Structure 1
Amino acid sequence: MNDGEIYLRWANTDDAADLVVFNDAFNGVGLSIEEVQDNIAVTSELIALAVMDDLIVGFACAQYFKSFCYRGLQGEITELYITEAARGKGLGTLLISFLEEELSARGVTSVKVLTGNTNENAIKTYEKSRYSKMEKELLLQKKLEPIR
């Protein structure tokens, strides 16, 4: 892939087919195009796309919320994926900045990111965007069975 025109934009339901492929490569979830279209149509999640030479080459997602426990809105960058061929061009940093600008415009005062301890490329990308490691944090997770 050559270094052609690069721009960022917000995702819409027309992007579902590309997002299915990227999400499967990144998360291995295997959603259908229809599921992604439905999710995009109803979510308040911010879904940013990196486009190079008119092809979508990456995406990043963020969410925000108000908690009674804190002052101001809290934000979280939940996903960041760039295709192998488009890596090393600064697109991750651009997507992070794009999300941060929108989060800030909506009143978010703090943004957090969770990533794997061994995901050195992601860690470097976030540190380049001035995120700091919080050694005291630990993620605990549990899957819940649906109540029928």
Structure 2
Amino acid sequence: MNSVANVRLASLTDAEELSRLNQEFNGGVKRSPAKIIEHLNINRNEWIAVAEISGRIVGFGCAQSLYSFCYDEPYGEITELYVEEAARRQGIAIALISCLEENLRKRGVRSMRVLTGRRNAAAIRTYEHCNYVKDDEQMLKRNLED
């Protein structure tokens, strides 16, 4: 495990750095720190973990707890995971995953899911290192603005 990075849940004061990292990761229009703060204040089913080195945030991960009347317990889903290139291969992604899992476990989550690109070999190796296994489900998607 990484002894240099401090991994913790995000706070409102992290909004500017989350905006920067999200832009690096997802591209597109940059999310304003004000929108990120608003989101942090209202979404009670999402956890955002950050990793910082020497006071600078170098990575983040997001996970949701999802509930359905069909199941007795909620399940968790890691929706985002990003570490700056210069900070990779130091155990930071694994520490972010662990932080998210621990916080979801406290909410009653007993099983986790993650979606990543089939060709994202580095991410797949990281998740497999954390004991995630491939299953036979297929993701389908549709844009509702069509």
- TM-score, structure 2 length as denominator? 0.91
Q: Could you tell me which residue of structure 2 aligns to residue 115 of structure 1?
A: 116
In the TM superposition, structure 1's runs of 4+ consecutive aligned residues that sit over 4 Å from their partners are none
Deviations 1:64-83 (A, max 9, x none): 02212223111101110000
In structure 2, distance between residues paired with 1:88 and 1:128: 13
Contact 1:48 1:59 in 2 (8 A): yes
Pairwise mapping of residues 23-62 of structure 1 onto structure 2 (< 5 A)? 23-29=22-28, 30-44=30-44, 45-62=46-63
Contact 1:59 1:95 in 2 (8 A): yes
Aligned AA for 2:9? W
Aligned AA for 2:36? V
Bigger drift between 65-74 and 120-129 goes to 65-74
Q: Could you tell me which residue of structure 2 aligns to residue 22 of structure 1?
A: 21
Q: Could you tell me which residue of structure 2 aligns to residue 141 of structure 1?
A: 141
Aligned identity (percent) is 45
Aligned length: 143
Deviation at 1:105, TM superposition (A): 1.2
In structure 2, distance between residues paired with 1:141 and 1:24: 23
Contact 1:76 1:112 in 2 (8 A): yes
Deviations 1:83-140 (A, max 9, x none): 0110000100111111111111111011100000000010000000000011x21111
Q: Could you tell me which residue of structure 2 aligns to residue 98 of structure 1?
A: 99
Aligned AA for 2:17? D
Deviation at 1:5, TM superposition (A): 3.2
- Please, which runs of 5 or more residues in structure 2 have no aligned partner? none
In structure 2, distance between residues paired with 1:4 and 1:131: 23
Q: Could you tell me which residue of structure 2 aligns to residue 73 of structure 1?
A: 74
Deviation at 1:4, TM superposition (A): 7.4
In structure 1, distance between residues paired with 2:67 and 2:138: 22
Is 1:13 the counterpart of 2:12? The answer is yes
Greater relative contact order structure (CA < 8 Å, 6+ sep):
2
